[in-house]
Amino acid sequence: MRTPTCCTEAVTAPIDLRELGTLGPFFALRDASCAESGLVTLGRAYQTGAVDRDPLGFRVGKVARALSVAEERVAVSVAQLGLAARLWSVSLGSAALFGRVPDLDPALLRWDPDASAPDDLFLAAGPRDLPADGASLRALVLDRHLEPLSAALRARHRVSAPLLRGNAGSALAGAAREISRWARRAGRSDIAARARLLTAELFEDPRLAGTGTRTGSAFRRTSCCLYYRVPGGGLCGDCCFERPPQHSSPPAASG
């Protein structure tokens, strides 16, 4: 079914990264400068064959130390979920605000694995902006980022594909929820409508369709991100569990 153009294509405003950042910290995206030119690109980070530098491994280790978690798969999950949230937030937020999306090509998007949001992503000047329809967002975020990110992590660590797909769905739902909250505060029902329609279209993708149940802006996962295994972590708001499982027998990575 074709999405009404009044809600998704009527925006003609140029992309303003500063305005995009007002939606929240995870929506921030900065122009890359000479100071950031030495940072790794996400395209380089997704490569699985290189052994000289491993920015994903560095990020996983940093997360493990910050959370004082001994289980590597927990740190992998948290690290991947954070990056997925950044990518969905920037792309969906820009689509809802401006009707266009910056070209987040992995070869253009520089990443600081030693920094946290919103200080981790920098975009080099791209040749063009991209359309803000569901097909373009799927190709941009799922195909060009989250699929190779998942493949790279699974090549290095013991973590399940359903868990990482669940994180991708959770991150998308979270980005949509934040946009809805911002739009309500700002009195911009048009922004909320565009984000809602695009999110519904994105969740039709088979890679996201089974990751959870959506009721309005609420989302209930069918898998667990394992955050409850972080000391003092507890359950996330969209967790599939009603209460934290016992630690005596580790759960399957998919929850």
Lowest mean pLDDT across 64-78, 201-215, 238-252: 238-252
Q: pLDDT for 59-111, tens place per residue?
A: 999 999 999 999 999 999 999 999 999 999 999 999 999 999 999 999 999 99
Name the E strands within 78-149: 100-102, 109-111, 121-123, 129-131
CB 153 within 8 A of CB 80: yes
| Kind plus residue range of the DSSP H or E element containing 65 | helix 55-67
Asked whether the predicted pLDDT for residue 51 surpasses 80, the reply is no
CB 130 within 8 A of CB 16: no
Q: pLDDT for 145-188, tens place per residue?
A: 999 999 999 999 999 999 999 999 999 999 999 999 999 999 99
- pLDDT (mean) for 227-239: 88
Mean pLDDT of the chain: 88
All residues at 6 or more sequence positions from 150 whose CB lies less than 8 Å from its CB, including other chains: 80, 161, 164, 165
pLDDT band at 219 (very low <50, low <70, confident <90, very high): very high
Q: How many angstroms separate the CA atoms of 2 and 159, rounded? A: 37
Res 240: pLDDT: 85
Res 121: pLDDT: 95
Q: Which residues of 122-155 are buried (b: 16+ CB within 10 A; e: fewer)?
A: bbbeeeeebbbbbeebbebbbebbbbbbbebbbe
Instruction: Give me the count of residues in the chain.
Output: 255
Q: Determine if the pTM surpasses 0.85.
A: yes
pLDDT band at 189 (very low <50, low <70, confident <90, very high): very high
Res 22: pLDDT: 95
Question: 220 - beta bridge partners?
Answer: 213
Lowest mean pLDDT across 9-13, 110-114, 202-206: 9-13
